[in-house]
């Protein structure tokens, strides 16, 4: 209940996470505290897994989600392993101005949500240290990925990883609404980093949409990226139906595991199926709010949203003329 005590607990938790072994004391404490106390400690563990307090500065990991929907052109293949450095440097400068950081460093390699989410605190700290001190890429500890224009489902989300360096007396502001609003004027740079490198390969080999989402602290950015991907996919299915039909029905049912919502988007002739993964503390009502917002923005089609019990949903699915949208 005091800042001094919180700092002591934070220092201990961080020490266990960075020590290289298992956080035994923290794990036992989570099992012995009451629910409210355990929740507070869990929040602190998440914080210390992506925020590192050093002697004279605070290093906070953040990420920039970029949603892409690329297609082949002229039977060529486009492969991107990193973003254009000149665009990312300009984006880093904009972020630094908006948050008032001492420095912002962006890794120009591309990462998956899984790689960033599964990285333990020690591995993430070591990688951020390489970014800050500028050590050679050969010593990096996180595994980057390649983004290809072929053999992938529509709408993927990849991430640029960054580190915010603050003075120990400065508050973290990246997630603040005012900062997020100011960052909107810089987001085109994140898209350009993937689609406008010096090589003309992208224009020759691939086409499609690229949307850069706002930088946020690491776990929040991963959360935003997952939400954006499911929204883009639902919108694309509805736009595909709208080419032929003026009305559609979105049937949905909560899965038995409560971890997702199953969707059937039906026109007069065809039905598309989709799984809408729920994240964190989302519930069915959150899905309805988001789905209504997405379907309302698609032009030239009227979409009705109806809930079904899971058994009724399965029956409707079995009698529908399902299309595997991701292979069309």
Can you tell me the mean pLDDT for 59-73?
Answer: 90
- What CA–CA distances, in Å, run from 96 to 58, 128, 194, 221? 14, 16, 21, 17
| pLDDT beyond 70 at 150 | no
Mean pLDDT over 34-52 rounds to 93
| Secondary structure of the chain as H, E, C letters | CCHHHHHHHHHHHHHHHHCCCCCHHHHHHHHHCCHHHHHHHHHHHHHHCCEEECCCEEEEEEEEEEEEEEEECCCCCCEECECCHHHHHHHHHHHHHHHCCCEEEECCEEECHHHHHHCCHHHHHHHHHHHHHCCCHHHCCCCCECEECCCCCCCEEEEEEEEEEEECCCCCCCCCHHHHHHHHHHHHHHHHHHHCCCCCHHHHHEEEEEEECCCEEHHHHHHHHHHHHHHHHHHHHHHHHHCCCCEEEEEEEECCCCCEEEEEEECCCCEEEEEEECCCCCCHHHHHHHHHHHHHHCCCCEEEEEECCHHHHHHHHHCCCEECHHHC
- Identify the band that residue 115 occupies on the pLDDT scale cut at 50, 70 and 90: very high
- Residue 75 contacts residue 64 (beta carbons within 8 Å): no
In this prediction, residues 281-305 reach a mean pLDDT of 92
* Block residue for tokens 């400068």: 93
d(CA 128, CA 107): 9
Please compute the mean of the pLDDT values over residues 83-95 and round it to a whole number. Answer: 96
Band (pLDDT 50/70/90 cuts) for residue 78 is confident
Asked if residues 145 and 158 have their Cβ atoms less than 8 Å apart, the reply is yes
Residue with tokens 């355990």: 38
In this structure, of 17-21, 163-167, 181-185, 248-252, the range with the lowest mean pLDDT score is: 17-21
Higher pLDDT, 316 or 161: 161
Which pLDDT does position 327 carry in this prediction? 45
The phi, psi pair for 23, rounded to 5°, reads: -75, 70
Q: Residue 253: is its pLDDT beyond 90?
A: yes
pLDDT of residue 328: 40
Listed as own residue / partner, the contacts of 78-81 with beta carbons closer than 8 Å and 24 or more positions apart are 78/148, 78/149, 78/201, 78/202, 78/205, 78/206, 79/146, 79/147, 79/148, 79/149, 80/110, 80/146, 80/147, 80/148, 80/194, 80/197, 80/202, 81/109, 81/110, 81/144, 81/145, 81/146, 81/147
Identify the pLDDT of residue 196: 80
pLDDT band at 152 (very low <50, low <70, confident <90, very high): low
Average confidence score pLDDT of the chain: 89
Residue range 180-231, pLDDT digits in tens: 999 999 999 999 998 886 655 566 666 788 999 999 999 999 999 999 999 9
pTM value is 0.89
Quick one: pLDDT band at residue 323, thresholds 50, 70, 90?
A: low
11 vs 149, more confident: 11
Tell me the mean pLDDT in the region 283-294. Answer: 93
pLDDT, one tens digit per residue, over 274-285 is 999 998 788 889
Asked if pLDDT for residue 148 goes beyond 60, the answer is yes
pLDDT tens, position by position, 1-15: 688 888 899 999 999
Q: Where are the domains of the chain?
A: 3-48, 53-224, 243-327
């Amino acid at each position: 209940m005091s800042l001094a005590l919180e700092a002591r607990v934070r220092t201990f938790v961080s020490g266990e996470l960075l020590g290289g072994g298992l956080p035994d004391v923290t794990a036992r404490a989570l099992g012995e505290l009451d629910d409210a106390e355990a929740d507070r400690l869990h929040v602190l563990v998440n914080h210390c897994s992506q925020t590192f307090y050093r002697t004279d500065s605070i290093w906070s990991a953040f990420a920039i989600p970029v949603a892409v929907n690329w297609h082949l052109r002229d039977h060529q293949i486009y492969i991107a392993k990193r973003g254009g450095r000149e665009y990312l440097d300009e984006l880093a400068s904009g972020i630094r101005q908006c948050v008032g950081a001492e420095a912002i460093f962006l890794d120009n390699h591309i990462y998956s949500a899984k790689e960033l989410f599964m990285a333990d605190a020690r591995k993430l700290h070591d990688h951020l240290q390489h970014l800050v001190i500028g050590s050679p890429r050969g010593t990096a500890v996180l595994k980057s990925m390649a983004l290809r224009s072929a053999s992938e489902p529509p709408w993927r989300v990849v991430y640029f990883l960054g580190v915010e360096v603050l003075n120990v007396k400065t508050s973290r502001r990246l997630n603040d609404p005012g900062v997020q609003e100011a960052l909107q004027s810089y987001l085109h740079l994140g898209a350009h980093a993937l689609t406008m490198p010096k090589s003309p390969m992208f224009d020759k080999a691939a086409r499609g949409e690229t949307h850069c989402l706002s930088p946020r602290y690491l776990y929040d950015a991963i959360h935003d990226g997952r939400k954006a991907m499911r929204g883009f996919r639902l919108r694309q299915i509805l736009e595909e139906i709208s080419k032929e039909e003026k009305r559609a029905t979105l049937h949905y049912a909560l899965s038995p595991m409560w971890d997702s919502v199953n969707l059937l988007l039906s026109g007069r002739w065809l039905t598309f199926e989709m799984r809408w993964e729920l994240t964190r503390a989302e519930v069915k009502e959150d899905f309805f709010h988001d789905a209504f917002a997405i379907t309302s923005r698609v032009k030239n089609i009227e979409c009705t949203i109806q809930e079904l019990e899971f058994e009724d949903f399965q029956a409707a699915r079995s009698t529908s003329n399902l299309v595997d949208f991701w292979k069309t």
